[in-house]
Amino acid sequence: MAAPCPYLPAVKRNLSWRDLNALRDNQGAELYQLCLEYGQQLWLEQLPARALLAVDRALYCDVLADALCLKLNPLPYAAIGWLVAQPTTEFTGNALVHYQHLADRVKGERAAQKKWRAWAAWAIVRQVRPDLPGDLKHEVTEPSLNEIKSGLETHGIAGEVDAWQQALTSDA
């Protein structure tokens, strides 16, 4: 059995995609917490690619900086780094390409915030898994760490840059 991710909350009950889907019209704190728990459950079920997608969904929730859920479980940059860095024989996909594509293609509400969060996750993946190749066919200008920081300062929430930089420099 996989060890639990130390950056994700414990699973309180057995969850499914239906639980997340029930909150599709409420992209706030309740969905954020549920996505993190579901990510932990999927990780423990040895489904790392799906776990990362659940954590991504939490990252893109619309949660205010002073929300209790963020005090208990900060934005999941550290969780992303930890999940991607873990050795596994299960399907993981290529997280570097995943975030590269997300950052360049995000649309809709809070698109700028989601774009910079995707680039921030991309930078973490690049740090913890330098062996992963980017998508050479995808023509995109990859931002520098300073550009990502500036994007998060402009479009993120209070404390987000600190959470990202801590995850970027930690040993996953």
pLDDT in tens, 39-83: 999 999 999 999 999 999 999 999 999 999 999 999 999 999 999
Q: Tell whether the model's pLDDT for residue 151 goes beyond 80.
A: yes
4 found inside a domain: no
Tell me, yes or no, whether 165 lies in a domain: yes
Which tokens go with 134?
Answer: 């980017």
pTM of the model: 0.93
pLDDT of res. 172: 60
Would residue 1 count as lying in a domain?
A: no
Containing structural domain, residue 127: 17-169
Alpha-carbon span 29 to 124, nearest angstrom: 24
- Count of domains for the chain: 1
Alpha-carbon span 118 to 72, nearest angstrom: 22
| 132 located within any domain | yes
Residue 7 lies in a domain: no
Residue 99 lies in a domain: yes
Write the pLDDT tens digit of every residue in 1-23.
Answer: 689 999 999 998 888 888 877 77
Q: Which residue has the tokens 């509400």?
A: 109
Q: Per the domain annotation, does 10 fall within a domain?
A: no
12 found inside a domain: no
